Amino acid sequence: MTEQTADNAAVIDRLNEVWASVVDACQRLRDEQWDLPTDCPGWTVKDQLSHLIGVEHMLLDDPAPEPIADVPSYVRNTFGELNEAWVDARRRATGPEVLAEFVDTTYRRLEALRAMAPEKFDEVGWSPVGQVPYRQFMDTRVFDTWAHEQDIRRALDRPGGRNGTGEALAIDLCARSMAYVVGKKVGPPDGTSVLFAVTGLLGRHMPVVVDGGRARVATDLSDEPTVTLTMDQETFWRLGLGRVAPLDMLASGQVVVAGDVVIGHRVLESMPFTI
């Protein structure tokens, strides 16, 4: 097996693993559990599963549902409208019916991926994180599926799927985005340094420095940071992915701000970055 083929097989295995974990989270639910609200505004447990089905149907080039006539207030962009159409099309289906469709759809996706020519995984094309090789796009599917799995598990109070590939990808994405958060969304003066001190098994210290009007993630800091935001890894990615209100995390003590609290609070409120 070549290195390229091994890399392709590895990302397919990651998808298979996270899809199986989603199925595990949704097994043996009572009727009312499918309708529990989740951290994504307007979406229930069943809606989360419908969203994941819709994305994989799009990647299979299956026919799309009709656009929704009345766009809910929580839908913010055209991509969100596409997602909502797939969700809305399944609101009259039962939870077990949606779960069965998820199993069938992800099985078809795995078959399609395994049948793809190895070089197709190197082709650069559209993804939610920009123009990237298809292999990298599939890792964004691992990340996105894992994030929605956690939405489901939190609503159901069924913990699981933590500290693995999906969470590592989520933390990496959030870490890479903190320069954008600090430099573009907050825009503090040159010389500002923000240290994200993230605890936990996958935690890390991420210094972001501002120089020449631009922010970058640094390897270390020679001086004391202007401000330090301390939180655990779950709080870090929940904030970055917009799953929780920043000020609620501050009020509950799950985020501690030390140093320049004015800049720190602005950074905290600007941490959500996903579409």
Convert the pLDDT of each residue in 94-109 to its tens digit: 999 999 999 999 999 9
Q: What is the pLDDT of residue 75?
A: 87
pLDDT in tens, 122-170: 999 998 888 999 999 999 999 999 999 999 999 999 999 999 999 999 9
CA distance 232 to 179: 19
Q: Which of 101, 99, 98 is nearest to 62 (CA)?
A: 101
Cβ pair 254, 221 in contact under 8 A: no
pLDDT in tens, 45-79: 999 999 999 999 999 999 999 999 888 888 888 88
- Quote the mean pLDDT of the chain: 95
The alpha helices in 60-203, defined as continuous H runs, are 78-88, 95-115, 134-156, 165-180
- pLDDT at residue 275 above 70? no
Read off the pLDDT band of 235 (50, 70, 90): very high
Integer angstrom CA distances of residue 212 from 148, 194, 219, 262: 38, 16, 18, 21
Domains of the chain listed by start with CATH number = 3-161 (1.20.120.450), 174-270 (3.30.1050.10)
pTM: 0.94
Q: The dihedral of CA 189, 245, 42, 273: what is its sign?
A: positive
